[in-house]
Structure formats: C-alpha cells, structure tokens
Amino acid sequence: MQPENALSVVAVIPARGGSKGVPGKNLRRIGGVPLVARAVSAAHATPGIDRVLVSTDDTAIAAVARAAGAEIIERPAELAGDTASSESALLHALDQLDEQPRILVFLQATSPFIDPDELAAAVARVRAGEADVVFSAFETYAFLWRIEDGVATGVNHDAATRPRRQDREPHFQETGAFYVMDAAGFREAGHRFFGRVAVAVTDARRSLEIDDLGELELATALAPVLDAPQDAIDVDALVTDFDGVHTDDRVHLDRDGHEFVTASRSDGYGIEQLRRAGIPVLVLSKETDGVVAARARKLGIDVVQGLDEKTAALRAWIAEHGLDPQRIAYLGNDVNDLGCLAEVGWPLAVADAHPRVIAAARIVLTRRGGHGAVREAADRILLSLAEASGTGERTLASSTERERP
C-alpha cells in the first residue's frame, strides 16, 4: 500500500546519450524542437502528471531537458550502455525519489507525437484501478509474415484464407510511446508488463517511433501536419535575417548599379512594439549593402552584416546580452540560416522559405518575407507577453495602422 503522502503520478523519460542508428538521436529536432524536449512538453501538457523526470548520462540532453522544465536524474554509466534495459533506468529513477509515486508513466523520447489527451486517459484508467498497466498501441488488420530458410509463412493468418477486413478481428501494434503503470506493481515485477494489462488505442498517424534516419526524415515531414498550431511565441529576444525576411528577397537596380529593396512598414511597427515591450531585436545579414544598416538604424535595432557564417555572431550577441538561447526566436528564409535556427529554442520560417528551413522550423509563419512576416512574429511574441501578464489581450495596434516606421 502506498503511503498517504505519496506523489500521485511521476513521468520518467529515459534518454541516454549513445545511439547507434541515429547519433545524438534524443537531441535531434522535429518541428524545431529536440526529441527529448518534445517528450517533456507532452508530459507537462498531460493533466494529472505531477513531476517530469529525465534520466540521462549526457550533459547536453540534461541541459535541454532542464530548459524544457524537467528534473534530471543522473543515470550511471552501467545503466546507459547498449544492453541496459529501460526498466533498469526506471527503477534507478524511482530509487532517487524521497517519496514513491502511486503511478509511474514511462515515456520514450523517440516517439515524437505523443498525444497528451490519450496519455491522460491512460493515466485515468490506472488511477481508477481498471488496469495495472496501460500501454499505447494502434489497431491494425495487417497480414503478418515470417521468413524461415527463404520461405514465407503466415503469422497471424492462414495464407490460403483471405477474409475481408470487416470479417477479421484487429490486432494491436505497440507504439512504444507510453506505458502507464501502477508503481508498486512495477517495482515488484521489475518489468513494464504485469498484472492486468490494457491497451490505449492511439491514433496510428502518431505511432511513428524513430530508430533510423529514414524515420527521422518521415517525422520531420509529419510534424507540420501533426503538431498543434501555436499562436504565442514565448521568447525574450527576436533575431532575424534581412533579405527574404524584411524584404521579398528581390533587389531593384538603377542604371548606375545602385540597389533598392522594399521593406514592410507593418514589420517596422511590429518591431517598434517589441522595443517598447523591452524585447531586443537583432538583424544578421550576409548582405554588405548599406541598406541593411540604414533600415536597422531607422528601426533602432542591432545589426551585424557582411557575414558569411552567422552562427558565431549570434552566439556572441547572446553572450553579450546574457540571454538563454532556448528563449530566443530566430526568423530565417534560406539555407544559410540553418545554423542559427539550430542554436535557438524557437526557430521560425517565413511562409515562402526554403524547404529545408521550413523543415527545421518550430513555427512556419503564414506571411511571406517582406509581406508582414516580421510583424506576424512580433504579434505572436507580444501575445505571449499579454498572456503572461494575465490580460489575455493584444496590446498592439492593428496591422493596418498607417503610421509606422
């Protein structure tokens, strides 16, 4: 019997540093967010989970998980090798707690599309005593085969009989995304399956588990479809590219070779509102033309231009201002922005960005470069500030405002 003061529900995410199939797998980004951070966010978004722990032997994973809001369990080397079981990491994590939980939730960071609603329903079933273990699986009517000595034979069917789908009983394929367990029963069994085992039937589209680079690429392609839309952007600073972000990526030339670009006054007003709210803005650009500095000077923001490689300049600016990279948004449009996008917690892409930039982004804006993309980013940052202040209201003027920088 659990003590009365026992924690209700604790989620543990084992995330070791070593990975053969996909090196650095738990830090790979899907939808602009590292896998381990996605798992932490899913746990935090699940009603009823009291604590979220990440068990890891890797300092980089620990830093990302901590920034996402997880507590860190330092995983011993002997429990972090290729042959170490997930159960050993879970038991070790439980041993580090002063108070034992009633329910243990085991999440895997390699499942990038965990649905908090489905997870919450599984927790409720264990809490109600309906089952000792509830694990995620999706319904399948697939005909399975095995090959022995080059000969294929049916596993779950008679190859000579091919009944219609509606005449067959479904099977359930384990996704690996989550396992919700009675904690005391797990300790006693030492394994994730014990007692009364039940299935949480999940959306098959979210069942992808990443074990190789092909699955990583597939998850990247699925993220824009499966991730919930995000309105607010919760950051402390905004950094942008110039051409293709503040402009439409075109240049106009006169007969003497002088260059002209078109910028959005709406973007300028958005930046003005960010400055008033105390949000610093930086422009990083490869372009050497004076128009970049002139526009930054007009907007009253920092600029560094003439850069062949922007990442070092971004890091230096972050250090100079004492900022947390995970609390910065970077807005880009082309492949030379990929390094900066990977440095920050909120990589953003304009609507007409290069496909690789869109794949790397946490949010793809609805507006194109030079057509209000910077304003849209500013609006979303200001919305986050309004929500944090408790007003729940936008404090900025309409995007049709005429008096803008």
Instruction: Give dist(CA 368, CA 43) in Å, integer.
Output: 34
Same-domain pairing of 222 and 248 = no
pLDDT digits (tens, 9 = 90+) for 62-115: 999 999 999 999 998 888 887 888 999 999 999 999 889 999 999 999 999 999
20 or 393, greater pLDDT? 20
Same-domain pairing of 245 and 201 = no
Same-domain pairing of 286 and 198 = no
Instruction: Give dist(CA 246, CA 292) in Å, integer.
Output: 10
* Domain stops at, among 226, 257, 285: 226
Mean pLDDT, rounded, of the chain: 89
Residues of the chain above pLDDT 70, percent: 94
Rounded to whole angstroms, what are the CA distances from 99 to 47, 54, 401?
20, 17, 56
Q: Residue 294 pLDDT > 70, yes or no? A: yes
Same-domain pairing of 215 and 107 = yes
Predicted confidence at residue 157, as pLDDT, reads 85
Tokens 């939808």 correspond to 31
Q: Do residues 404 and 271 lie in contact, with contact meaning Cβ atoms separated by under 8 Å? A: no
Q: Does residue 232 fall inside a structural domain?
A: no
Q: Residue 246 pLDDT > 80, yes or no? A: yes
Same-domain pairing of 50 and 116 = yes
Q: Does residue 402 fall inside a structural domain?
A: no
Q: Does residue 403 fall inside a structural domain?
A: no
Region 41-51: mean pLDDT is 94
* Domain stops at, among 207, 226, 245: 226
Residue range(s) defining the domain that contains residue 83: 9-226
Same-domain pairing of 217 and 274 = no
Predicted confidence at residue 259, as pLDDT, reads 72
Same-domain pairing of 242 and 262 = yes
Which residues lie closer than 8 Å to 282 by C-beta, 6 or more apart?
237, 238, 239, 240, 301, 302, 303, 304, 314, 317
pLDDT digits (tens, 9 = 90+) for 100-159: 999 999 999 999 999 999 999 999 999 999 999 999 999 999 888 999 999 998 888 888
In this structure, what CATH number is given to the domain that contains residue 155? 3.90.550.10
Same-domain pairing of 30 and 124 = yes
Predicted confidence at residue 404, as pLDDT, reads 46
Same-domain pairing of 250 and 217 = no
Give me the amino acid identity at 206: R
Residue 391: which pLDDT band, with cuts at 50, 70 and 90?
low
Instruction: Give dist(CA 121, CA 327) in Å, integer.
Output: 32
Q: Residue 2 pLDDT > 60, yes or no? A: no
Q: Residue 168 pLDDT > 90, yes or no? A: no
Q: Does residue 108 fall inside a structural domain?
A: yes
Predicted confidence at residue 137, as pLDDT, reads 96
Q: Which helix (H) or strand (E) holds 175?
A: strand 171-182
Instruction: Give dist(CA 153, CA 147) in Å, integer.
Output: 6
In this structure, what CATH number is given to the domain that contains residue 277? 3.40.50.1000
Q: Does residue 395 fall inside a structural domain?
A: no
Terminal-residue alpha carbon distance, the chain: 67
Counting every residue written for the chain, the total comes to 405
Predicted confidence at residue 7, as pLDDT, reads 63
Q: Do residues 138 and 201 lie in contact, with contact meaning Cβ atoms separated by under 8 Å? A: yes
Beta strands 9-14 and 145-148 are: unpaired
Q: Does residue 160 fall inside a structural domain?
A: yes
pLDDT digits (tens, 9 = 90+) for 317-343: 999 999 999 999 999 999 999 999 999
Domain tally, the chain: 2
Region 356-383: mean pLDDT is 94
Could you tell me where the beta strands, DSSP code E, fall in 97-170? 103-107, 133-140, 145-148, 151-154
Region 262-281: mean pLDDT is 91
Q: Do residues 7 and 102 lie in contact, with contact meaning Cβ atoms separated by under 8 Å? A: yes
Q: Does residue 70 fall inside a structural domain?
A: yes
Q: Does residue 4 fall inside a structural domain?
A: no
Among residues 182, 178, 219, 212, the alpha carbon closest in space to that of 42 is found at: 178
- Per the structure block, which two tokens stand in for 33? 């967010």
Q: Do residues 332 and 348 lie in contact, with contact meaning Cβ atoms separated by under 8 Å? A: yes
Q: Residue 398 pLDDT > 70, yes or no? A: no
Same-domain pairing of 205 and 255 = no
Residues of the chain above pLDDT 90, percent: 67
Please tell me the least confidently modeled range out of 45-49, 159-163, 264-268: 159-163
Same-domain pairing of 193 and 251 = no
Cβ neighbours around 296 below 10 Å, total: 21
Same-domain pairing of 46 and 151 = yes
pLDDT digits (tens, 9 = 90+) for 4-19: 445 699 999 999 887 7
322-325: Cβ within 8 A, 24+ apart: 323/236, 323/237, 324/67, 324/236
Which residues lie closer than 8 Å to 275 by C-beta, 6 or more apart?
281, 300, 301
